[in-house]
Every structure is written in C-alpha cells, then in structure tokens.
Amino acid sequence: MFTSTLKRDLYRTSWGVAKLSQHPHSSRCLHWATKCRQAVASTVAATHDAKSPHKPGPSLGILPLSTIVRSLSVTTVTSVPALLTPALASLSFVAESKAKVLDPDYNSILKAALRQTIYSQFCAGETPHEVETTISDLKGLGYAGVILGYGREVVMDEDEARALESREAHEVKRIDTARQAREVLEWKEGTMQTLALAQEGDFVALKFTGAGREALSHLIHGLPPSAELAQAITDICDRARDRGVQLLFDAEQHAVQSTIDAWVLGLQRKYNRTFSLQDKPRALVYGTYQAYLRSTPDTLASHLAAASEEGFVLGVKLVRGAYLGSDPRHLFWENKDGTDQSYDAIARALITRQYGPGLRPSDPQSQEFPQADLVLATHNRKSIEKARALRNDQVRHKRPMIEMVYGQLQGMADDISCQLVHESATTRYEGNALEEIPKPYKYLVWGTVGECTKYLLRRGRENRDAASRTRDTRNAMFAEVKRRSCLGFSFK
C-alpha cells in the first residue's frame, strides 16, 4: 500500500544520507538529502493511520517524494525543446529499429537506462506482481480505479500504410496462417493477463493492431476480423463481462479507424444491451472518439442514433487525439482552439444528454438521447473544470446524471489527477451533498521495456505537442518540493 511505498523511500533516502556524510565535500548535498529524508519521514507519519478519518491535505501531498522528484526530472526535460528533441530522436531510433542489439529486452544496459527513467514514469511494471503493486498504491492514494493496457502495439509510418493499402483485399487472406495464429494468440494471452490483473469496476484498454500485421491488413481493407481474431475478441469480451471489467477499445490511425469503429459498434450491440454493474445498466464495451478529427461529431451522432434505436448503452471514451504527427493534416481542425471547442461541446452534450451546436443528431427529426457512459480522458484543466461545473449543477438541482469517470495517463498531469483525488476526498470528508464526488482513474500500461517502447515514444511526442501543459506539471512538482521544504516538510 501507499505507506509501504513511503517506507521504502525513507530507507533509500536514509541510505543516501549515510553515503553522503562520508564525503568530505558534500555539505550542500547532505543538507538537501537530509531534508528529503525528513520529507519522507513526515509523510509516513502523516499517513501512518490511513484508516483514521482526517481532512485531506494539499493535493500533491499524497505523492511519495520519489514520484515527485522523478516527475520533476522528466517534465523538466520534456518541457524544454532543446532537451526533448534529441531525447525523442534517440527513443525513436530505438523503438523503430529492427536490430536486436537495440531491443531493450535483449540489451541490459539500454533496458536499465530506460527503465530507471521514462519507463518508470509512464509504465506500471513488467511483471504481474509489479503491476499489482502499482495498482494497489494508486488505489491507496484515493483513485477510484485504473485503466490498464498491455503495451504491445503497432504504429505505422506513411510508407507502411501506403504499402498495406496498395495490396488487393483478396491478397490479405493469403498471409501465412501459422504466423497469423501466433500473433493473435500472443495478443489474446496478453489481454487475458491484463484482465486478470484488473478488478471489478476497472477498465482494460486494448488495440486491435496489437493482434499483428494480418489484423492490421483486415482493418485497412475494411474486412471483418479473421476467424481466429473474431474468436479471440469474443473470448476477451466474455471474460471481461464475467469479471465486471469494462473494455476500452483505443482509437488508432486514420487508415484503420473507420473499420475499428465498425467492429466496436458491433461489439456494443452484442454486449451493451445486457451488461450491468451494481444492478445498473452499463456499457461493457467503449469506443474511443478523437475530438481533433472534423468527422468525430458526425461519427458519434450516428453511433448515438444506433444506440437509441436498438436499445443499448453507448460507451464513449472521449480524447483529443494522439496521431497528429502521423495522420493527414486536413483531417483535423485548423488549430488547437478548434479541437478544444469540439471536445468541450461533445462533453457537454454527453453529460447533459442534450444535442447542441457541437453535436447534432444524425436525424434532425429525432432529438432522443440514449444512455451513454463516459470516460472523460483529458489532461486539459479547463475541460475538466467545465465538466465539473456541469456535474455540480446537476447535483445541486437533483438532475439525472450519466455514469462518468475522469482519466489521465500515468506519469502525466499528476497535478490534475491529484486535484481530482483531493476533491473527491474533500467532498466525502465534508459530507457535501451539493457537489459531485469525482471518480478519477489512471491509465496504466504494462509490459516489458521493449514491448512498451512505441508507447513511450507516443507519450514523448504528446509531451512535445503539449509543452505548456508539461510546464504546468513541472511547475506544480517544483512548487510541491518547495512547499515541503518551506514548511519543514510537514504534511500540513
């Protein structure tokens, strides 16, 4: 749990203080190391009796010092273009290389370098035990749950996408069936392991492209999944239903997204009619909608119409988008303001269950809005504040509310995530019946360092494209270190 993590920090910093004290020219380092030890010790004391009710302290005060220091280090690099550019170039070289010597799972030196830095920042662990510890620690901090994903994925460059698109659809079926079965089986086993690690009320995120090149070819050509893949998907959905774990099918590159939408909508028709949690109708299967695409409002409107007509709960994970660097530019809104406006308009329509200028019904004659469960996945503070204001207004006026959670990626926007945890704890502590009790979730990816390199590269590029937000997190972490220092590292 959280306290055990802090105790490990205390041991490590005590060891560091002892080592520094032996050096003849280390008075300044010893001063700061001693303060770090005091910070951890005071936090351990403050959280010793976690079961005793107490008023929540500062939002970032829940984080172990080791997490704050690592986050400060990583965001310092990612918020400075002169440092981030060469770091991304190096990571891209590793992630896209076919050479075994550059595979972190075979190169122990490279693996150690990545694991101690960006892997530890953004990933949950390599083994089930490490992942279970990470999940336990996060829930001990006050998170309502986790979104857990397996790190294996395929990201195409433009040349690869064109090569696959140029193949005739009938050629897709001629791919080596032995290799196809092996890739599908590996994807299924990884997803089943992920489901075994998740608990009821958690989510598991997955990508169809993780099932291999044959699956990718079917997606590009608009074909249904192969027999092997279809059976694997059914087995995964059945297991998730039995465990009470919801499934988030991630959005991917434009070349495959329309087929992903069709596959996921078919799964929603099959599973979301009858699934329930705590005796309430819920969505088992969620699709992901990227607000930076101009086509998203129309796509979502058509899916809402299908849910309304056919009587199933639509599962919506709303994101801004993660393929700005690899998809054709004309598909997106002209600027970030356009994306922000689209995101907030869609979120408002879903939260209030009312169509509006940003999300119009596909049939102008029908304004009926179906039940839609929402994962509001964003690192944008303004979008979260707007959603919170809408939800608080609904609480105050006793209006019906949709099932909704807030999601941020592990290692990113901890200042926002911890604020949601803080607001949830404060609302419960004060017994405030006039505000929503938010449900914050962290999105965790697990797998070996080598399996997660493409995921880590996308995270690095996302930080580059959102440098101002990364600076906000860096400044928040620095302020927290300063707060603990200035207050004598008390937990007040």
**Among 343, 289, 342, CA closest to 314:** 289
Distance CA 170, CA 29 (A): 67
Tell me the β-bridge partners of 246.
203
Q: What's the one-letter identity of residue 253?
A: Q
Question: Which of 176, 166, 271 lies closest to 226, judged by CA?
Answer: 176
What is the spatial distance between Cα 177 and Cα 173, in angstroms, rounded to a whole number? Answer: 9
Please state, in angstroms and rounded to a whole number, the distance separating the CA atoms of residues 48 and 210. 42
Task: Round to whole Å and give the CA distance between 347 and 320.
Answer: 11
What are the two backbone dihedrals, phi and then psi, of residue 276, each rounded to the nearest 5 degrees? -150, 155
Angle of helix 81-96 relative to helix 453-465, nearest 10 degrees, comes to 150
Domain boundaries of the chain, sorted by first residue: 127-460
Query: Could you read off the pLDDT of 116-168 as tens digits, one per residue?
Result: 888 999 999 999 999 999 999 999 999 999 999 998 765 555 555 556 556 55
Give dist(CA 205, CA 198) in Å, integer: 11
In 3-state terms, what secondary structure has residue 193? helix
- Phi first, then psi, for residue 371 (nearest 5°) are -70, 130
Angle at Cα 398 formed by Cα 360 and Cα 344, nearest 5°? 35
**DSSP per position, 130-157:** HHHHHHHHHHHHT-SEEEEEE-------
Note the CATH architecture for domain 127-460: Alpha-Beta Barrel (3.20)
Question: Is residue 261 a contact partner of residue 315, using CB atoms and an 8 Å limit?
Answer: no
**199 DSSP assignment:** -
Compute the distance between CA of residue 436 and CA of residue 385 in angstroms, rounded to an integer: 12
Query: How confident is the prediction along the chain (492 residues), in pLDDT tens digits per residue?
Result: 444 444 444 444 444 434 444 444 444 444 544 444 444 444 444 443 343 445 677 899 999 888 998 898 888 887 777 887 888 888 888 888 889 898 999 999 999 999 988 899 999 999 999 999 999 999 999 999 999 999 876 555 555 555 655 655 555 455 567 777 888 999 999 999 999 999 999 999 999 998 988 899 899 999 999 999 999 999 999 999 999 999 999 999 899 999 999 999 999 999 999 999 989 999 999 999 999 999 999 999 999 999 999 999 999 999 998 787 778 889 999 999 999 999 999 999 999 999 999 999 998 888 789 999 999 999 999 999 999 999 999 999 999 999 999 999 998 899 999 999 999 999 998 988 889 999 999 999 999 999 898 888 877 776 666 666 778 888 999 999 988 888 764 443
User: Which tens digit of pLDDT belongs to each residue from 69-99?
Assistant: 889 888 888 777 788 788 888 888 888 888 9
The token pair at 35 is 């303060």
> Distance between CA 89 and CA 381 in Å, rounded?
29
Task: Please provide the size of the chain in residues.
Answer: 492
